[in-house]
A and B are shown apart, each in its own frame.
Chain A
Amino acid sequence: MRGFGRFVVATLSGLVIAVGVHIAAILASPYLAEQDAFAKVQSTLTADKAQIIAPAGGENTWLPRPDPAVAVATCAFDLRNGPMRITAQTGSLPLSFSFHKETGGVFFAVTDRAAVRGELEIVAMTARQLDEARAAEDENDPSRDVRIVAPELQGFVIVRVVAPAPSLRPQAEDLAKAVSCTAEQDG
């Protein structure tokens, strides 16, 4: 009976350890994942224009469950190179930006309803870069940039352009490819 009691204690300890291991594995997996979206968009870091990762039609993409009516483009950013300015010329097709952290998770999203005079422009920066930009600003001529603070230094922007009809797909792709994302050196 004593041996059985020890076995029960050992099993219960094992279950407690299992809970800990489970939690640790779940929390760590976004940081350890080597095949996540962030890893796959790293090649776009140096490009000035958004790169198509899922053309409209849903073919030739690593994105799971692609929507054939949507062209998806991306820009990776690294705020150590300075704030990133992302600009899109909006048209009649629905366009949206979503900003993703390196470890997965969205921190900001905006659609072309927020565009001003056919242009949607967002500047992503760190909290420190925001302070510097504010300090350097002319009080009489404040910047009109829409600034968002990124919680992590690295991440990526996803541009989605919806083509409501197949004939609009080339136009959607052109719109997505025309999005520019440039690091601002003045920082």
Chain B
Amino acid sequence: MQTEALLTNAPAAASMRPPSRPSLSVSIRRVPTVLLVVYTLLLGLGLGLGSAYWAVNGDPPFGSLRLGPWKAWPKLGAPEADPYMRAIIAQRSDVPLATGEGLGFTASMDNDGRPLDSACSYTLGPVAPIARVWTLTLYDQAGRLPATTLGRKSFTSAEVLRDTQDRFSIALSREAQPGNWLQLPSGGPFTIALRLYDPPGAGAANLEKSDFPVIQRLECGT
């Protein structure tokens, strides 16, 4: 009981033992100060480094351009890229497309905002932004090209079959489809990258949502 009282109500316990009061009050004041300084430093280092690590392993927090499901960071390949972009490029050992060279968009959702899942089938079309060449590539969640039995992982603007109005439709599914077909990986989420090489105008300035292909989910298997 005595020790419990000391722990929970130290000043009250100390008043019962007058001789020991000075040393106790000194020790109470000094130890917490040191502990508080250590706590402050650890909190600062832990939170600072932790949040930096988290930020560097994610997407750049600022400067994104969203056009429907398509997302890009036009400044990623520009001299005025912000410090987060530089840190993320270094971390990924990536070489982004430079402004003037092209622009890369990615989509991880369909046009209704549902995550892309390889258990479903999708159609993608009918238009794409004007560029000298565009390429459309599938990646798995880890950013690798998916291994499929078909072997085709991408379409370019030159390969895709179009109708008489110059529109196209690309089927994304696991089972074979007529026309333009990209086989989805065997499972899990995937992302689509649309890269515009040598687009006219100043980078992303003239792009609009209606220029981009619509990603429409058709049906989902089990």
Are A69 and B198 touching (Cβ within 8 A)? no
A47 at the interface (CB under 8 A from B): no
Q: In the bound complex, do residue B101 and residue A30 qualify as a contact, i.e. CB atoms below 8 Å apart?
A: no
Closest Cβ–Cβ distance, residue B165 to chain A (whole Å): 21
**CB distance A165 to B52 under 8 Å?**
no
A71 and B123 CA atoms in complex are apart in Å by 28
CA distance A37 to B96 in the complex (A): 10
Q: Out of A6, A14, A22, A59, which one reaches B52, CB within 8 Å?
A: A22
User: What are the residues of chain A within 8 A of B98 when measuring CB–CB?
Assistant: 96, 98, 106, 108-109
CA distance A96 to B98 in the complex (A): 9
Report B98-122 CB contacts with A as 1/0, cut-off 8 Å: 1111100000000000000000000
A76 shortest CB reach to chain B, Å? 12
Q: Which of A60-68, A78-86, A137-145, A176-184 contacts B (4 or more CB under 8 A)?
A: A60-68
Residues from 10 to 58 in A contacting B, C-beta threshold 8 Å: 10-11, 13-22, 24-27, 29-30, 33, 35-37, 39-40, 58
With a cutoff of 8 Å between Cβ atoms, the chain A residues found around residue B81 in the complex are 104-106
Residues in chain B near residue A59, CB distance under 8 A: 145
Complex Cα distance A16/B48, Å? 9
Contact with A along B124-149 (1 / 0, CB 8 A): 00000000110101010001010000
> Which of B47, B95, B102, B198 contacts A14, CB < 8 Å?
B47
Determine the distance from Cα of A24 to Cα of B47 in the docked complex, in whole angstroms.
Answer: 13
Tell me whether B16 is interfacial, beta carbon within 8 Å: no
- Asked whether A17 and B86 contact (CB < 8 A) given A22-B51, A66-B145, A164-B156, the answer is no
Question: Is A26 within 8 A of B52, CB to CB?
Answer: yes
A63 CB, min distance to chain B CBs, angstroms: 7
Interface size on B, residues (CB 8 A): 58
B-chain residues with CB within 8 Å of residue A97 when the two chains form the complex: 101
Q: Check B48 against A19 for contact (C-beta < 8 Å).
A: yes
Is B186 interfacial (CB 8 A cutoff)?
no
* Interface contact A6-B36, CB-CB below 8 Å: yes
Given contacts A67-B154, A96-B101, A104-B90, contact A14 B39 (CB under 8 A): yes
Determine chain A's interface SS by DSSP, over half rule.
mixed
Report the bound CA distance from A104 to B37 in whole Å: 37
What's the nearest-Cβ distance from chain A to residue B136, in Å?
A: 9
* Total of A-B residue pairs, C-beta within 8 Å: 190
Interface centre among B41, B52, B55 (most CB of A within 10 A): B52
Q: Could you say which residues of chain B place their CB within 8 Å of the CB of A160?
A: 97, 101, 197
Taking CB as reference atom, which chain A residue is nearest B42? A14
Alpha-carbon gap, A157 to B53, bound state (A): 28
Partner of A35, one of B86, B93, B95, B157: B93
Alpha-carbon distance between A64 and B93 when the two chains are bound, in angstroms? 7
Query: Among A21, A30, A69, which residue has its beta carbon within 8 angstroms of that of B135?
Result: A69
Assess A165 versus B158: contact at CB under 8 Å? Given A64-B143, A68-B153: yes
Q: How far is the CB of B87 from chain A (nearest CB, A)?
A: 4
Q: Contact check: which of A20, A27, A110 meets B83 at CB < 8 Å? A: A27
Besides A14-B40, A36-B93, A66-B145, 13 new A-B residue pairs in contact (Cβ under 8 A), listed by A number: A10-B40, A14-B43, A17-B44, A18-B44, A21-B45, A29-B90, A30-B89, A36-B89, A94-B132, A98-B95, A103-B86, A164-B133, A164-B156
A selection of 25 A-B contacts at a CB cut-off of 8 Å is A10-B37, A10-B43, A13-B40, A13-B44, A14-B41, A15-B43, A18-B44, A20-B48, A21-B47, A22-B47, A24-B48, A30-B87, A30-B89, A30-B90, A33-B91, A37-B95, A63-B94, A65-B94, A65-B137, A65-B193, A68-B145, A69-B133, A94-B198, A103-B86, A160-B97
Interface residues of A (CB under 8 A from B): 3, 6-7, 10-11, 13-22, 24-27, 29-30, 33, 35-37, 39-40, 58-59, 62-70, 72, 94, 96-98, 100, 103-111, 113, 158, 160, 162, 164-165
